[in-house]
Amino acid sequence: STVAEEKQYRPNFHFSPKKGWMNDPNGLYYKDGIYHMFFQYFPDGNKWGPMHWGHTTSKDLVKWEEQPIALYPDELGYIFSGSAVVDKNNTSGFGTGADNPVVAVYTYHDPKREKDGKTDVESQGIAYSVDNGKSWIKYRNNPVLKNPGIRDFRDPKVFWDTKRKQWVMTLAAQDRAHFYTSKDLKEWMFQSEFGKDSGGHGGVWECPDLFPIKVEGSNEEKWVLIVNINPGGPNRGSAGQYFVGDFDGRSFTIDEHFSKQLQKEKACWLDWGRDNYASVSFDNIPQDKRIIIGWMSNWDYAQEVPTEAWRSSTTTAREVSLKKTKEGYILKNVPVSQLEKYKGKAVKKEISLASGKKLIDKGEIDLSKAVIDVDLKKMTKGVYSFALKNSLGEQVIFGIDNNTKELFIDRTKSGKTDFKSNFADNISKAPLTKSYKNAKFKIVLDKTSIEIFFNDGEKVMTEIFFPNESFSELSLTSDTKGSTLNINAHQINIK
C-alpha cells in the first residue's frame, strides 16, 4: 500500500515530490533567505511524461517544502531543464520597481515536431517572477533562442558575467557545449563551441554549467565546466563530468595542466556512483559559495525503481571546491555545512580492527537518517569493506581496496534489485591513484541512499538501494588487523 511504501522508502531528508515523477533539478537560485529548487516533473504519472517545473523551497538546503507547480507545458511544448537568475539590474525590464525579477531560462521541447521526425524540436524560452518565485509569467515573445538545426539543443544554464557585464548561457548541443551571450536575457548571440576533442562522448551531453571558482589555498581563479552525459558514465548510464579551464567572455579553453590529466583519465567525474545526475549549481549564493544538487538516479533504471506513488529524490546539497595537485585538478564536493545543524544522537568509538567487527549495532542510532565519519589509520594493503545490514541478510557493501586501489559500492544483495537487470549486475568502482595509509570517509545515509565522500570529497560515490527492511547495523567485514578506526556517527534529527 501507499502507506507502507511511504514508511519504507520515502527519504527522510532528501527531497522527493509528494507524488509523481521527478528528474533533473532546475532553476536553482537563492534570494531573500530562501533557496529555490525547481525540478523536471510529471505530476500525473510515475514515469517520465509531459514535463512541468515542480517547485520546492528551503531556508537551509536540508529541509524542503514543496510548492505549487511553477511552469506547465504550453503550445510551444514541454518545459525541459534550465536555470534561473536574479536579474539585479533589471536588464530584462521585467521588474516592476519593487523587487528584482527572477528570470527562468528553460528549453521548450515540442512533442509534435518530434513525432514528425523534425530536427528543430528544441528551443529556449523564458519566464519571470516578480514575487520571488511564487508565480511565473511566460514571456510573450518566446522562444528567445530558436533551434539552429541541432536535434538535441537544450538545458540553458545562465549566469551574470560581472567582468564583461553580460549574461552568458551554456547550452548542451548534441555532445558539445555552446556558449551564447545576451544583454537582456531576450536576445542571444552565439559565441563558441566546446568539446569536440575533450572528455567523454559515450552519450549525449546534457545539463551543462559554467562557473568561476578560486583554487583552494590561492587567489588563482579558474573556470569549471560541468557537463552531464547520458549514457557514458564511469559505471554506466548517466553521470557528470567536469573540465577546468578559462573563460574570456566568449569561449572556454582547457587549462594546460588539466589537459594532461584529461589525456590520462579521458574524462574527470564529479561523482563515481551510479546515482548522481544533472548536478548544476545555484545562482546568487553570497560569498562565492558554489552549491550543487543532483538527481539521485540514473536513466538506466529510473523509471522502474520500486516506488509507485512518487519516483526519485535529489542528492544532498553539496559545496564544491577546486584543488590543484601535481596530477591535475580535483573538483571536490562535500555536504553543505547546514546538515550539521540537524545532528542528534551520537555514537563515538575508537576500534582496533579485526574482521567481523560490529561498528554500529542495532538500536544505537537510526541508520536510515545518519551521517557517519570514519577515520582509518595505519592501513595495510588489504581491503576495508563495510556492510550495512538488516535482519533479512540484505546488505550494501562499500569501502576501499588498498590493493587494487579503488573505492567500491556493492548493492548486488541490497534487497529489491530485480526490477531492472542493469540495476545491480555489477559492483561500482572508482579508481584511486595510490594506496592509502590513512583515509577518511564521510557517509550520508537515508532510507534508500548512500553518499560516500572520500578524503574531504576528493572522490565521491552516490548510490540508491531498496532493502525489504531498513538497514540497522554497520559492520566491518574484511580482515584488516593492525589498523585503527575512529567512528563518529550522528543521527539526523529532522521532521
Active site residues: 24
Closer CB to ligand FRU, 119 or 259, in the complex: 119
90: left (phi over 0), alpha (psi -120 to 50) or beta: left
29/453 with CB nearer ligand FRU? 29
Site size toward ligand FRU (CB under 6 A) is: 12
Q: Looking at 17, 20, 21, 24, which residue binds ligand FRU (CB under 6 A)?
A: 24
| 206 is a site residue for ligand FRU (CB under 6 A) | yes
Site string for ligand FRU, 153-192 (x = CB under 6 A): -xx-------------------------------------
Cβ at position 438, least distance to ligand FRU in Å: 38
Residues 6+ apart with CB under 8 A from 84: 26, 27, 28, 29, 36, 38, 102, 103, 104, 105, 133, 283
Q: Please tell me the distance from the alpha carbon of residue 91 to that of residue 86, in angstroms, as a whole number.
A: 10
Q: Which residue, chain included where needed, has cell 595509509?
A: 437
Q: Is 402 in the site for ligand FRU (CB under 6 A)?
A: no
Which phi and psi (to 5°) does residue 341 adopt? Answer: -55, -25
Q: Which three cell numbers stand for residue 222?
A: 579558474
Judged by beta carbon, residue 229 or residue 474, the one nearer ligand FRU is 229
Q: Which residue has the cell 509531459?
A: 50
Please report whether residue 207 would count as binding ligand FRU according to CB under 6 A. Answer: yes
Binding map of ligand FRU across residues 272-301, x = CB under 6 A, - = no contact: ------x-----------------------
Cis-peptide, bond into residue 143, ω within 30° of zero: yes
In 282-394 the beta strands, taken as DSSP E runs, fall at: 291-295, 310-311, 318-324, 329-335, 343-352, 358-360, 369-377, 383-389
N-terminal to C-terminal alpha carbon distance within the chain: 22
Q: Which is nearer to ligand FRU, 175 or 206 (CB)?
A: 206
H or E stretch covering 81: strand 78-86
Closest distance of CB 82 from ligand FRU, Å = 8
**Is there binding between residue 80 and ligand FRU (CB under 6 A)?**
yes
Nearer to ligand FRU, 27 or 328 (CB): 27
- List 81, 147, 279, 284, residue binding ligand FRU (CB under 6 A): 81
Asked if 23 interacts with ligand FRU (CB under 6 A), we say: yes
User: Is residue 473 at the binding interface for ligand FRU, with CB under 6 A as the rule?
Assistant: no
The three-point CA angle 369-371-375 to 5° equals 150
Q: What residues have CB less than 8 Å from 223, skipping those under 6 apart? A: 210, 211, 212, 213, 244, 245, 246, 247, 252
Q: Residue 126's closest CA among 176, 53, 49, 194?
A: 53
Q: How far is the CB of 288 from ligand FRU (least distance, A)?
A: 27
40, 124, 182, 333: residue in contact with ligand FRU (rule CB under 6 A): 40
Site string for ligand FRU, 137-156 (x = CB under 6 A): -----------------xx-
Comparing CA positions, the residue from 228, 211, 158, 214 lying closest to residue 188 is: 158
Q: Closer CB to ligand FRU, residue 188 or residue 299? A: 299
Interface residues with ligand FRU (CB under 6 A) are 23-24, 40, 51, 80-81, 107, 154-155, 206-207, 278
